[in-house]
């Protein structure tokens, strides 16, 4: 049966500002332990009309994907601002540490976000592509290494695996970093990049 939904819009007066306002309100609700908030709750928290979250995003799942994108953007910004190791392994592990630090700043909020983006929505999300872009940034331009083109995607999949077990409570907060570093180190060794200090905390 064809869908007649109107695509969410970011245009119009203050479109981006309104999107940020809705996302900020969603984060406040998550911080308050209200992961099951309704779109009506969200509209009230953002002080916008009931239709606004739907018009700007389309669904609660899309809002959670947008919150995930915020986190990946924060990871990329912090990584880019840090002093960059000269070697590939060092840069990848710095990216791991940066990503883990972002996730552990607000564990309850980020577990809620991860739980949502792990479910199927009306349309595919962009978390994998965004995450792969972060690892592409970490690998950097041609640095003389023989890293395969598939490495950013493989690192994205590996890190998402660690996050999934952390989200489910199978990895404690203090276990996320070491496990994420270990799996990244394993991938790097698999492509011939030495990583002797990979799993040191």
Q: What is the CATH number of the domain that holds 19?
A: 1.10.10
Q: What is the pLDDT of residue 122?
A: 65
User: What is the count of structural domains for the chain?
Assistant: 2
Range list of H helices, 82-150: 88-105, 107-117, 127-139
Q: Which two tokens stand for residue 17?
A: 């500002």
For residue 142, pLDDT beyond 80: no
The verdict on residue 198 lying in a domain is no
Residue 201 lies inside a defined structural domain of this protein: no
Looking at the fold, whether 51 and 137 belong to one and the same domain comes out as no
Q: 32 and 96: one domain?
A: no
Residues 72 and 167 both lie in one domain: yes
One domain, residues 74 and 53: no
Q: Is residue 197 assigned to a domain?
A: no
Residue 161 has pLDDT above 90, yes or no: yes
Using pLDDT thresholds of 50, 70 and 90, give the confidence band for residue 17: very high
Percent composition of the chain: helix, strand, coil (DSSP 3-state, to 5): 65, 0, 35
Among 161, 198, 194, 160, CA closest to 178? 198
Structural domain boundaries enclosing 10 = 1-58
Q: Same structural domain for residues 94 and 42?
A: no
pLDDT digits (tens, 9 = 90+) for 173-185: 999 999 999 999 9
**Does 54 share its domain with 150?**
no
pLDDT of residue 144: 55
Question: Is 78 a member of any domain?
Answer: yes
Q: How confident is the model at residue 143 (pLDDT cuts 50, 70, 90)?
A: low
Q: What is the pTM of this model?
A: 0.84
pLDDT band (50, 70, 90) for residue 125: confident
């Amino acid at each position: 049966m064809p869908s007649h939904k109107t695509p969410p819009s970011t245009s119009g007066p203050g479109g981006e500002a309104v999107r940020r306002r809705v996302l900020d309100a969603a984060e406040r609700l998550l911080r308050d332990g209200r992961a099951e908030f309704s779109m009506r709750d969200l509209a009230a928290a953002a002080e916008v009309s009931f239709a606004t979250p739907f018009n700007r995003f389309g669904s609660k799942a899309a809002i959670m994907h947008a919150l995930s994108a915020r986190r990946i953007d924060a990871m990329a910004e912090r990584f880019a601002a840090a002093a960059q190791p000269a070697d590939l392994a060092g840069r990848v592990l710095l990216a791991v540490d940066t990503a883990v630090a972002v996730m552990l700043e607000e564990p309850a909020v980020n577990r809620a976000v991860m739980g949502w983006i792990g479910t199927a929505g009306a349309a595919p999300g962009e978390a994998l592509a965004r995450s792969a872009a972060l690892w592409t940034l970490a690998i950097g331009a041609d640095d003389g290494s023989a890293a395969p083109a598939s490495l950013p995607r493989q690192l994205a999949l590996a890190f998402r695996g660690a996050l999934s077990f952390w989200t489910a409570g199978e990895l404690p907060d203090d276990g996320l970093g070491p496990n994420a570093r270990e799996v990244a180190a394993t991938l790097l060794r698999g492509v011939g990049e030495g990583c002797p200090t990979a799993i040191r905390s």
